[in-house]
Amino acid sequence: MQYRFKNARILTMEEGRQIFKGEVWVSDDKISFVGTDSEAEQRLSEISCSWDREIDCAGDLIMPGFKDAHTHSAMTLMRSRADDLPLDEWLNKQIFPVEAHMTGEDCYHLTRLAVLEYLTSGITAIFEMYLTPETIAAACRDTGMRCVQTGCYNSFMQSAELVEDMYNKLNSPEDPLNTYILGFHAEYTSSPEVIDKMAALAHKYQAPVYTHLAETAAETKGCVERYGMSPVKYLSSRGIFDYGGGGYHMVHVSEDDMEIIKEKGLYVVTNPGSNSKLASGIAPISDYMKHDIPVAIGTDGPASNNALDMFREMFLVTALGKLREEDASAIDAMEVLKMATVNGARSMGLEDCDCLAEGKQADMIRIDLHQPNMQPINNIAKNIVYSGSKQNVKMTMIRGVIRYEDGVFNIGDDPENIYRQAELIKERIDKTLV
Amino acid sequence: MQYRFKNARILTMEEGRQIFKGEVWVSDDKISFVGTDSEAEQRLSEISCSWDREIDCAGDLIMPGFKDAHTHSAMTLMRSRADDLPLDEWLNKQIFPVEAHMTGEDCYHLTRLAVLEYLTSGITAIFEMYLTPETIAAACRDTGMRCVQTGCYNSFMQSAELVEDMYNKLNSPEDPLNTYILGFHAEYTSSPEVIDKMAALAHKYQAPVYTHLAETAAETKGCVERYGMSPVKYLSSRGIFDYGGGGYHMVHVSEDDMEIIKEKGLYVVTNPGSNSKLASGIAPISDYMKHDIPVAIGTDGPASNNALDMFREMFLVTALGKLREEDASAIDAMEVLKMATVNGARSMGLEDCDCLAEGKQADMIRIDLHQPNMQPINNIAKNIVYSGSKQNVKMTMIRGVIRYEDGVFNIGDDPENIYRQAELIKERIDKTLV
């Protein structure tokens, strides 16, 4: 399909480029033009163009879609099932028993439920870690969501063989929506053997590795007790990060850890909603920024967050950062937008989805500025981070396909069918657990 | 108008009552029936009913509207104008110079802009403090918003005479949407003379008084330096709270203050979005709850928040509370919903807007459960607090009038006109400031 978005404000997220008025053209899966109105006019006089659809944006903003850089999508099943509980009770009495009964087919339907929500929040790619990679990939392929998966291998589930198998299988050019990055669940769930096997894979493929890292004070303390080192230092010492990668959460780190993170070129994926709701703490985002360590943003899974809402996460990144530093000027809105788009894309290996430019993938969103929370237009970037909400997402496009527009989904199935599947799964597992 | 809402889930917010399936009927400004499906059938067999409109809610939730218990609505003008700045620079260099140029007519239009946003967030009443009470009342009357105002009297603006005049004028039964409660700006902006005049008014009318209270550590410290007492203790010692009332923010209070708050029967109005964004701190909500001190929730003004979004505030109340207490079980979702509805209404003197029951005011909202963030339906109350968003507000009704439905406003003017007015005001004041 050929699209022309005209009469738009455009935030490309290219370094140093301000918002301008102009046009974005899409040809199949790629952006074929981004420029000002006069540049568009110039281009139109040079070449002949025809569009399947011309969209008058009425001054709305076109920008890159958000990258949700840490998800466990099929945990939609446990949304609002286990809240307001201490962390150990949440995990051991509520989450693990349910997960024990989840099938690959369950994960397929429940991931599709999450995709619906991602689309409402302008999310065009997810960095996913969960139980059954192949059915998760199928769910994303069928709904049109871009999905970068990583392993949740640990001493109790998955295997180095599965991780390697998925790494080879899910990076096929035949399925451009799905890719796979090496990863494992966490230090605290993994024996030294697991960790050594992962390090061996990193070396074999000269590839980055991702994992849950320094999420809670107890995790960091436990690792020090086990190995005399912080999780960051311990995993680095085993060679896990010799080809880069990163960590999810990274709330409890030391100044020494910062140096290692910087030296290894790691990405920090922060999850402020989940870290608040589970009372895990506030990540030192300002410190990461001072060290020039790139930060991306993820929602984590809906069992711990419970929303899959990048607007909420963006506000929390800066609001919690301001509280932590006791400084209202900490973490500027534009930095947050960079985390939610450019840094997210790069952490996921999606270099062609980081900003809007000719030849890049057409993963973009339209933000409705004709809503009261966006008025008056003093500063659009700050509006998005400080007063934006899902209600402002007028359109979500992935690989040149509009998957959500004016509240209507285009994901190959009726949302009500997906809701019904989720209810059936819930009822089946509830019966088993009684 | 006579409305029948059927096939609904209903959360009345009456103490101890669970969500049930049933009907709500509205007759003019009041609720004329709330009950289960069988109770509705019984009632229908007893009396003859006719409705102007029957609404099939398709299983969606009907609940009381949210009460935004602390607002400065016309500060919409400064939304995203002065962010990411230290507090003193924010106030002195950005906010005060703009306010100096705002007229009563400006406040009228800018309050209407805020009303649009309140409606999108399911807010059916606001507790408002700002510059020009009469044009603010006109804006709320014209748009249909329920508005309880209080004074922002201090050493630099308004007067005890104005507060008394508004108290008498805006509590007229002829204008049921507008009421007025005694109040002044804050201890730190008010001379002892201002405070004594307010205390005299409280005594004269045997009426509660509201004010900004213990918002920042600097404010509390300053008061101790000035008077050897915390703001709570100092104001109480001057007789301000002899007939009750309450404070906005109340972040920095001592155990002694808690005792005074409890003894005087004060309401705490918490503003977590604003307190985070301005790095003022996290209010001790769990402690207030332990002392049985009622907590209500407000957004504060759009210059400091910047959204007027009760879903964000509700999540923040519990998420920040969990972080503060380092306890994921702190501040249950149902408690948060009570703060946002029942406690809010009572703090504002709106006893007939606190819950859904026969004879109460028809101030209620419909929450769209057919959205992915509300699925599956494990626990609706937790869904609202932990994954709810403005996107779930399908309808907002105030005094029996639907003011917002399916994204369309019914506020006596075209939203685009209001946006234009706000832009014109912005342009005019920008020119003056250059």
Is A90 within 8 Å of B375 when comparing Cβ atoms? no
What's the pLDDT tens digit per position in A327-356?
Answer: 999 999 999 999 999 999 999 999 999 999
Q: By the CB < 8 Å criterion, does B336 face chain A? A: no
Selected residue of B95, B370, B391 to mutate for chain A interface (largest A Cβ count, 10 A): B391
Q: How many beta carbons lie within 10 A of that of residue A155, not counting itself?
A: 14
Window 338-397 of B, Cβ < 8 Å to A = 370-373, 375-380, 382-383, 386-391
| Axis crossing angle, helix A104-120 with helix A415-433, rounded to the nearest 10 | 130
pLDDT at A148: 98
Window 207-246 of B, Cβ < 8 Å to A = none
Q: Is the model's pLDDT at A92 over the cut of 90?
A: no
Instruction: Say which DSSP state A144 is in.
Output: T
| Axis crossing angle, helix B133-143 with helix B160-169, rounded to the nearest 10 | 30
User: What's the Rg (C-alpha) of chain B?
Assistant: 21
**A387: nearest CB among B307, B311, B380:** B307
Give the distance from residue A257's alpha carbon to the nearest chain B alpha carbon, in angstroms: 23
Q: What is the mean pLDDT of residues A366-376?
A: 98
In chain B, domain spans: 2-64+353-409, 66-351
* Grouped pLDDT means (10 residues each) for chain B, 434 residues: 98 96 98 98 93 98 98 96 81 88 98 98 98 98 98 96 98 97 97 98 98 96 98 98 98 98 98 96 98 98 96 98 96 97 98 98 98 96 97 98 98 98 96 86
Q: By the CB < 8 Å criterion, does A103 face chain B? A: no
In chain A, residues with a C-beta closer than 8 Å to the C-beta of B382 are: 80, 83-84, 306
Decide whether B2-64+353-409 matches B66-351 in CATH topology: no
Class of domain B2-64+353-409: mainly beta
In chain B, residues with a C-beta closer than 8 Å to the C-beta of A113 are: 372, 375-376
What's the pLDDT tens digit per position in A207-228?
Answer: 999 999 999 999 999 999 999 9
What's the pLDDT tens digit per position in A288-334?
Answer: 999 999 999 999 999 999 999 999 999 999 999 999 999 999 999 99
pLDDT at A267: 98
Q: Could you give the percent of chain A with pLDDT greater than 70?
A: 100
Which residue would you say has higher pLDDT here, B93 or A119? A119
Q: Is the model's pLDDT at A133 over the cut of 90?
A: yes
pLDDT at B433: 86
Is B83 within 8 Å of A386 when comparing Cβ atoms? yes
Q: Is the model's pLDDT at A434 over the cut of 90?
A: no
Window 249-288 of A, Cβ < 8 Å to B = 273, 276-279, 281-282
**A333: nearest CB among B83, B311, B330:** B83
Is A113 within 8 Å of B305 when comparing Cβ atoms? no
Q: Could you give the percent of chain A with pLDDT greater than 90?
A: 95
What strands lie across the sheet with B146-150, from one edge to the other?
A: B66-71, B123-128, B146-150, B178-186, B209-213, B245-249, B267-270, B295-297
Residues 6+ apart with CB under 8 A from A211: A183, A184, A185, A186, A187, A235, A240, A245, A247, A248
Q: Is the model's pLDDT at A88 over the cut of 80?
A: no
Q: Residues in chain B, how many? A: 434
A69-351, superfamily in CATH? Metal-dependent hydrolases (3.20.20.140)
pLDDT at A323: 98
pLDDT at A82: 83
How far apart are the C-alpha atoms of B402 and B364, rounded to whole Å? 9
Class of domain A2-64+358-409: mainly beta
Q: Is the model's pLDDT at A86 over the cut of 80?
A: no
Kindly tell me the burial class for residue B244, based on how many C-beta atoms sit within 10 Å of its own C-beta (0-12, 13-18, 19 or more).
middle
In chain B, residues with a C-beta closer than 8 Å to the C-beta of A311 are: 389
pLDDT at B49: 86
pLDDT at B434: 73
pLDDT at B41: 96
**A329: nearest CB among B86, B311, B376:** B86
Is A319 within 8 Å of B419 when comparing Cβ atoms? no
CATH 3.20.20.140 holds for B66-351: yes
How far apart are the C-alpha atoms of B264 and B245, rounded to whole Å? 8
